[in-house]
Amino acid sequence: MRVLVALSGGVDSSVAAALVAEQYGRDQVVGATLKLWGGASDSGCCSVADVEDARRVADQLGLVHHVFNFAAGFDERVVDPYVRGHAEGRTPNPCIECNRHLKFDRLLERARTLGFDAVATGHHARRVTTAEGRFRLCRGADPLKDQSYVLAMLGQDQLARTVFPVGELTKGQVRDEARRLGLRTAGKPDSQDVCFIRADQGRAAFLASRIPLHPGRLVDHETGEDLGPVEAVELVTVGQRRGMGHATDGKRRFVTAVDIANRRVSIGSPEAAHASDVRLHTVSWVDGAPAGLGGLGGPGGPHHGAGGADVGDEADVGAEAGVAVLAQCSAHGHPVPSSVQLVGDELSIVFGAPQRRVAPGQTVALYDPDHPDTVVGSGIAG
């Protein structure tokens, strides 16, 4: 089997490359680094140093190494929507959109064109094949490093051509393997920030260079009382606590809504910052919608881009009863028992207990309550 390994310059993808080379032979494995961001970068998988680390790891492993320039697609599919989202009061997740449109769409297509059977990545997730030959997306072995949340948009087409070699390993085991092999990335820290925003620049300066930022007013969530100024409404996100000040009672205040048009940011108590439900769009399923949601993209149904079936295509609108799921609202959040139901062309999630409000633009990943490690699908909060 010929495998194209996505080498980001980090320890996880380095060990992934070593494992597939050991399994299939070096002559069957090629490393590829994606040039995504055309501007200056000092973190993530977009910096010059990371590309050089990837090249040197490939050399250490005896692999051919290529660099694919996907910068135009990255701007169109990741950076521009990120900026536009903030201008419209949303908080997009650029890593998820990069996975959706670049790593598990453009890269898979490039691999197919070049004659590769599969793409390997360093994600901490597992692909499980069922007795029927279907694919399941499951959490990685290391609960602290699990990345199934950021892959929850994947469908059968993508999983059929993707492998996750480090998914069965803990992070400690990955580093031990890298040290055993003498890889230069063995002790390299994990990237934490948005790769196209420099640490010395920050989100505010990055956005200010691309869109106008407008001062606004803080208002009380319950009464509408004016509570003072906010520097830029485009920089505020639902659920934010820091920078929102305190009321005279000394209690913490959280953002409950961002109104860009009227330049108002509503803030309220921790109780007001919670919600009992959320609506999702851009819904995708790993292997068809759960039974009970009607004809919403069953097995073998249509897929859109790198995701599963879109909620608007085959939906039997108005399913009578909710379907049980576990909903995870952030990359490191705790999944909570919930129910999902079709409402028009959106998916409504009702939480078993109120949760911190999900910022518009953020992804909610859905897991199987009977198999809590198994991803069912995902959607984006409206």
Catalytic amino acids?
98, 195
Amino acid at 347: L
**Contact of 367 with 328, CB cutoff 8 Å:** yes
3-state secondary structure of 79: helix
Report the alpha-carbon distance of residue 308 to residue 315 in Å, rounded. Answer: 13
**Cβ-based burial of 296 (10 A; exposed 0-12, middle 13-18, buried ≥19):** buried
Q: Which residue has the tokens 């961001």?
A: 37
The pair of structure tokens assigned to 302 is: 């249509």
CA–CA distance, 37 with 197 (Å, rounded to integer): 10
Cα atoms found within 13 Å of the Cα of residue 224, Cβ hemisphere only: 1
**CB-based contacts of 264, cutoff 8 Å, min separation 6:** 216, 217, 218, 219, 233
**For the residues of 271-283, what is the DSSP string, one character each?**
TTTEEEEEEEEEE
Cβ-based neighbour number of residue 170 at 10 Å? 16
Amino acid in position 1: M
Instruction: Give dist(CA 97, CA 161) in Å, integer.
Output: 19
Using a 10 angstrom Cβ sphere, with 0-12 exposed, 13-18 middle and 19 or more buried, the burial of residue 132 is: exposed
Q: What are phi and psi of 203, to 5 degrees?
A: -65, -40
